[in-house]
Amino acid sequence: MQQRPYSDPDATWGHRSAVSTRAAGSFYGYKLHQVVCAITGLPLAWRVETAKDSESTFAMPLLDTVKARGFRPEVAIMDMGYDHEAIYADCEQRDCHPIIPLRQTPAVKAGKHLPPVCEHGEWTFAGAETKRRAAKWRCPSGECSPASRWIGASRLHTLIPRGRPAGRSSTGCAARSSGRTADSRTSGRCCPCGSGGSSGFGCTPT
Ligand SMILES: [Zn+2]
């Protein structure tokens, strides 16, 4: 009898990020890409792909499916695997604010994601305008001229500012309390050979 290299020839090798119970690494199998409602935990859209495909490939098709099903996600919480400029722009284009942890890219190491600073201190967030796709930042003492300026939405400057305690951002708060928030999760599915597992924060470690 011929021995096959893997129990499932359709599966592929891929990479998964670390979760609390195990380190990042390679695995053979499939990934379940799904959008889950952050309030109810119920899946809103999903697809199973082999392990080699990156999470970000399926983020927007899934978000479009969620919208086509009549949901209006205002905020999408994603893990670091989705931290690509295109994801931010594509999300905003769909009237959905992305919340994604930053990878340590050169721009981040150079501090380009930090609030503007002047001689009066660090500028404060003064609200975002979704239509304008920009957020307003203000000199802490108001002595600068101009005392505030708009910064266009990007990976480095999101409309829901980073590093704020939960509930302090009015945009995020409204979306959460509306019950229409969705987060895009990637979780893994064990392949038949028993390897594989989960990727991203949406997994259920076993
Ligand atoms: Zn100032």
Q: What is the CATH number of the domain that holds 81?
A: 3.30.420
Q: What is the mean pLDDT of residues 23-38?
A: 86
Residue 15 falls within a domain, yes or no? no
164-204 pLDDT tens trace:
544 433 333 223 323 333 444 433 322 222 222 222 222 22
Cα-to-centroid distance, 199 and ligand 1 (Å): 44
The model's pTM: 0.70
- Strand partners for 14: 27
Nearest Cα to Cα of residue 125 among 166, 167, 168? 168
145-170 pLDDT tens trace:
999 999 999 999 999 998 754 443 33
pLDDT at 30 over 90: no
- Strand partners for 76: 98, 182
Residue 81 falls within a domain, yes or no? yes
65 three-class SS: helix
Cα-to-centroid distance, 121 and ligand 1 (Å): 7
Cα-to-centroid distance, 167 and ligand 1 (Å): 26
Which of residues 186 and 4 earns the better pLDDT score? 4
Cα-to-centroid distance, 123 and ligand 1 (Å): 8
Residue 120 falls within a domain, yes or no? no
CB atoms < 10 A from the CB of 158, how many? 23
Q: What is the mean pLDDT of residues 68-82?
A: 93
When mean pLDDT is compared over 18-32, 35-49, 140-154, the highest value belongs to 140-154
**Which residue range is the domain that position 69 belongs to?**
22-103+171-206
Q: What is the mean pLDDT of residues 17-29?
A: 80
What integer pLDDT is reported at residue 21 of this predicted model? 82
Q: Is 165 exposed, middle or buried (0-12, 13-18, 19+ CB in 10 A)?
A: exposed
Residue 155 falls within a domain, yes or no? no
Report CA 153 to chain centroid distance, whole Å: 15
Q: How many domains does the chain have?
A: 1
What integer pLDDT is reported at residue 1 of this predicted model? 52
Residue 190 falls within a domain, yes or no? yes
What integer pLDDT is reported at residue 168 of this predicted model? 37
What integer pLDDT is reported at residue 22 of this predicted model? 80
Residue 179 falls within a domain, yes or no? yes
Cα-to-centroid distance, 158 and ligand 1 (Å): 22
Residue type, 185: R
What integer pLDDT is reported at residue 198 of this predicted model? 28
89-142 pLDDT tens trace:
999 999 999 999 999 999 999 999 999 999 999 999 999 999 999 999 999 999
Residue 135 falls within a domain, yes or no? no
Residue written as tokens 């935990």? 41
Residue 40 falls within a domain, yes or no? yes
